[in-house]
Structure 1
């Protein structure tokens, strides 16, 4: 005959399974009134503890725990699991420690819960201590504990330890295999993850949806759909093709592999069976391929079908706006982010900072950053990158110092942004100081990008001899960016010999880069060596190297208007031309003198002046002035570096029309206002 405690336990278990907390509380109250919770009733009390924990009522669980006169291993384990399940990970670890201090030896279930809590709490040190204790207790090879330890080490990025634990386990189940595969995938060792999956297949371990999702994630990481298609076939054979998690993983795998047709078919675009995960994967895939219109189409259609975006959706869409400098779409998304409260998500906020920075609105980037409660490492690096793009060296240094004082360790991305900011602001000594401190003070080994930034920094400052000496001492040859920076500096500061060396090195690295020939021709033109200019142009023709045409664009009323030099194709070109003529008169009256030295062609000065007046950035500025209300900022983008003459002209245009004009060229942003530029004429 079933005893009364057993009946009570079964009843309480049913309340826990069905989350009927109110019924469990009523039963608990009746037991207290009836005096049924006596010292001998620890068995029933443990089930009540478990019920409260599973229903998320930790207050009642703690109250009961505190008044229990006798606590056994089940009691302590129930509390540890309860804290862990309800994400109170620090209390789970504290309770585990208290249990050990009381003289009780943990069970495998207590170990497993505590290990999982240490992972979620981010305490690798506590996890290692648990591993040592499990070895002493003889539980390290137990299936639950071993799987949890393997999972812990893989999530902390210590794959060597994870593999050692995994290899020592005498019996491996599906959970332990998945921990290894998932660990490899999340740590970027995608080939190892797929190799582990194949080993699992060879050992005839049963495959479930979790293992398949981890393997598909690894396929997405290697960005090839060939192995992924084999997995897709396995999914169909095992009957998982309708499983939502598997479909999401397949969509993500195909999207990361660039196979958007397959990704769309898996998602079921035609059937309308979308969800936020699959939509986010599709959007991200299109963004990576720079197919922004398709990404926008997926986003709009998903909203029409009632799919609410999440933080990943917004991040991908804002990333697309940042890449295209699409300010109007970005501000609309910003409004939706605020309405859905995702502005509190640190990653979304970081992408917003980046978006506004790349669209030219530096003040908006700074405002969002300052409103973040506790900026993450990503947010600090993003704002540093924004300051670098806008040439704000002093602000970048101040931000770097704040970042370090907040206990955030700088990484290689941090120093690239910091060095670029110093370079564009002419802060050479400060930049050299930070470069020299990277390894010794911050433990970051300088890479090619950092060396290239120093070459650029010295070159811009005209310290070409130092740049050459720096190159000679480098542990490796400069990359294309380094040589190109040096070549550009030689053009600016008139060093023909070093410029020829840089051009020779660069032609070996990027023989089809027309910019090399253009810069070299400019150097020769500066010295009046027109025969050498002709020779360079002949070399371009012989090698079929075409000069990259310069063009500028501006967004007006959700439409992008693109202009080339001396471009007469725009339907409003008559009005644009009239504005250009008007501006030409006004800036001459304000002191403008054409700088024809920026053109490497041997023609009459009057023709050079006309060519300068119809550079693409000036046409774009004129169009913006006749098309945009004064309340909107004028933001012009250019694919090449803005020339010296246009820089002077736009400074004066900003003064005579009393408008701020923002120009983003291939190197940085220029903020023109009242006859001045934010770069201080140093770029």
Structure 2
């Protein structure tokens, strides 16, 4: 509509009428935002534009930006924003917050930089929003700069929300110790601050630190809310601290929190399942008033982890009978159960369901679970075919296939996959190396084993992975390089019964019974308890000595 027509409309309206019209627009935009009614919101936008309000009314312009954001249309919001004749800190905050809520952290950061380039000073709300964006993009460099700006302006002294946003940013950037230092310097900290920190430690799998923070929080007289309890239950699961989990379960029930909170109920099921208390986990799930696919997936995952495949399948079928549709996580869990039972027929049916729903196009974890299931069911050609058809494959996909070939003593094929994986630019991890070392042992390829040993040492992987150390000892022993195997074992930072078993087995297989018995005595002197495998090879060694 042209300027003359807008002027004509304004001329025919009294100030009172325009005020009423403005109030109506404000109310309608709020309603559209709450209902996420994009169609009606777009119509109101047209009416506002035709009435000429956008030329002078920044508040109404900001509301339009907010409405589009809440309707999940950040691009339209940006278009409105750029057409505003005047924009203030609120305009920028609305846009930055919108991009952040939509998980578009980089766009939010771009807006923040443009806002500053236009000479506008961020306020506490701006900083809180951009810190959330830094957390989502894990941009701790930008977060540290913003932290410095906030401190220089003395904002932390009086704003608990801003303090909490800083704690949350550092926690999400994988810096929970830094988050804790910020929290401890806050004049006022609340349940939200502590929950952000606890969640950060849980995310980094530092369950003991999370539990310690939980105890400190309570000692300050703060009562956990549902979010805190859900986080701390994850910590109990990661540390397998069932006693603490049971106490928290009791607290949750006594406060009546389980009545309508499916997230908390799911966290309880998951905690009991990961602590190996599967009957307890199932009882909790069945007592929930509301359950969803995530609750059932947590239970199915627990049974699959404990290699109770039939029970996992039973839960899967019950879940479907309740009218709940499996999601990608459920399918990944049930494929693990099929692999543990070597139930290829059920795996094939699930594969068909996954393909029919188009889930493989966007979920690498599900693709990996399929490769792993077929490999464990000894359908290695199918596993390789699935892998080659995946739109995205990673080191986990290849490791599952390599493990399958190594398990079936098809070492040459495992080595071929290893080389193809590297040709795709993928770097092996500790699991890949352990699998390929098994293949080197089965083919007695000591030269390749030595090369892999060198790679492992150069990456410092032996310092923190006892399984990888054991795989090296086993590989050299199977290749007949027993002195090398013993040297590797003696250099391991940690050795266990499996380390010694690999070496004892090597000596026993080579008919060197005295050396095997000597290893057995050294193992006992280190207070490592033998198991049935040890005794099997010791008996063999005694017969050959």
Please tell me the TM-score bracket, short chain as reference: 0.7 to 0.9
Say yes or no: does 1:78 pair with 2:94: yes
Kindly state the Cα deviation for residue 406 of structure 1 after the two structures are TM-superposed: 5.6
Q: Is the 8 A contact 1:484 1:502 kept in 2?
A: no
* Structure 1: unaligned runs, 5 residues or longer: 530-683
Distance in 2, Cα, partners of 1:368 & 1:131: 47
| CA shift in 2, pair 1:466/1:158, >3 Å | same
Kindly state the Cα deviation for residue 234 of structure 1 after the two structures are TM-superposed: 1.8
Which residue of 1 is the match for residue 5 of structure 2?
none
User: Aligned ranges for residues 480-559 of structure 1 at < 5 Å?
Assistant: 480-505=497-522, 513-523=531-541, 525=543
Query: Which of 383, 386, 399 is 1:368 aligned to?
Result: 386
Say yes or no: does 1:65 pair with 2:81: yes
Which residue of 2 is the match for residue 173 of structure 1?
190
User: Aligned ranges for residues 75-474 of structure 1 at < 5 Å?
Assistant: 75-140=91-156, 142-243=159-260, 244-268=262-286, 274-344=291-361, 345-393=363-411, 396=414, 399-400=417-418, 403=421, 408-440=426-458, 442-446=459-463, 447-471=465-489, 474=491
* Structure 2: unaligned runs, 5 residues or longer: 1-15
| CA shift in 2, pair 1:323/1:140, >3 Å | farther
Kindly state the Cα deviation for residue 3 of structure 1 after the two structures are TM-superposed: 4.5
Distance in 2, Cα, partners of 1:274 & 1:477: 43
Kindly state the Cα deviation for residue 48 of structure 1 after the two structures are TM-superposed: 0.6
Distance in 2, Cα, partners of 1:522 & 1:324: 32
Superimposed CA distance per residue, residues 271-300 of structure 1 (whole angstroms, 9 cap, x where no aligned partner): 995421221122222233333222221111
| CA shift in 2, pair 1:398/1:41, >3 Å | farther
Aligned residues: 523
| CA shift in 2, pair 1:84/1:514, >3 Å | closer
Kindly state the Cα deviation for residue 37 of structure 1 after the two structures are TM-superposed: 1.7
Q: Is the 8 A contact 1:251 1:281 kept in 2?
A: yes
Query: Which of 1, 19, 30 is 1:13 aligned to?
Result: 30
Kindly state the Cα deviation for residue 478 of structure 1 after the two structures are TM-superposed: 4.7
| CA shift in 2, pair 1:507/1:317, >3 Å | farther
Query: Which of 66, 69, 72 is 1:56 aligned to?
Result: 72
| CA shift in 2, pair 1:504/1:377, >3 Å | same
Distance in 2, Cα, partners of 1:377 & 1:48: 46
| CA shift in 2, pair 1:327/1:245, >3 Å | same
Kindly state the Cα deviation for residue 488 of structure 1 after the two structures are TM-superposed: 2.7
Kindly state the Cα deviation for residue 507 of structure 1 after the two structures are TM-superposed: 6.5
More helix by share: 2
| CA shift in 2, pair 1:293/1:272, >3 Å | farther
Q: Is the 8 A contact 1:435 1:450 kept in 2?
A: no
Distance in 1, Cα, partners of 2:174 & 2:36: 36
Kindly state the Cα deviation for residue 403 of structure 1 after the two structures are TM-superposed: 4.9
Distance in 2, Cα, partners of 1:476 & 1:61: 57
Distance in 2, Cα, partners of 1:469 & 1:201: 50
The farther-off stretch of 240-249 and 285-294 is: 285-294
Distance in 1, Cα, partners of 2:138 & 2:37: 33
Q: Which has the larger radius of gyration?
A: 1
User: Aligned ranges for residues 652-667 of structure 1 at < 5 Å?
Assistant: none
| CA shift in 2, pair 1:273/1:47, >3 Å | closer
| CA shift in 2, pair 1:161/1:516, >3 Å | closer
| CA shift in 2, pair 1:286/1:478, >3 Å | closer
Which residue of 1 is the match for residue 12 of structure 2?
none
| CA shift in 2, pair 1:375/1:149, >3 Å | farther
Q: Is the 8 A contact 2:497 2:530 kept in 1?
A: no
Kindly state the Cα deviation for residue 242 of structure 1 after the two structures are TM-superposed: 0.8
Superimposed CA distance per residue, residues 614-649 of structure 1 (whole angstroms, 9 cap, x where no aligned partner): xxxxxxxxxxxxxxxxxxxxxxxxxxxxxxxxxxxx
Which residue of 2 is the match for residue 668 of structure 1?
none
The farther-off stretch of 499-508 and 457-466 is: 499-508
Distance in 1, Cα, partners of 2:241 & 2:541: 45
Distance in 2, Cα, partners of 1:216 & 1:448: 28
Q: Is the 8 A contact 1:483 1:505 kept in 2?
A: no
| CA shift in 2, pair 1:515/1:229, >3 Å | closer
Kindly state the Cα deviation for residue 52 of structure 1 after the two structures are TM-superposed: 0.8
The farther-off stretch of 391-400 and 161-170 is: 391-400
Distance in 1, Cα, partners of 2:188 & 2:433: 47
| CA shift in 2, pair 1:511/1:265, >3 Å | closer
Q: Is the 8 A contact 1:146 1:176 kept in 2?
A: yes
Q: Is the 8 A contact 1:507 1:516 kept in 2?
A: no
Q: Is the 8 A contact 1:131 1:140 kept in 2?
A: no
What TM-score do you get using the length of structure 1 for normalisation? Answer: 0.70
| CA shift in 2, pair 1:147/1:477, >3 Å | closer
Kindly state the Cα deviation for residue 489 of structure 1 after the two structures are TM-superposed: 2.7
| CA shift in 2, pair 1:506/1:368, >3 Å | farther
Aligned-residue RMSD, C-alpha: 2.9
What TM-score do you get using the length of structure 2 for normalisation? Answer: 0.87
Kindly state the Cα deviation for residue 73 of structure 1 after the two structures are TM-superposed: 0.9
Kindly state the Cα deviation for residue 49 of structure 1 after the two structures are TM-superposed: 0.6
More strand by share: 1
Kindly state the Cα deviation for residue 308 of structure 1 after the two structures are TM-superposed: 1.2
Which residue of 1 is the match for residue 6 of structure 2?
none
Q: Is the 8 A contact 2:469 2:492 kept in 1?
A: no
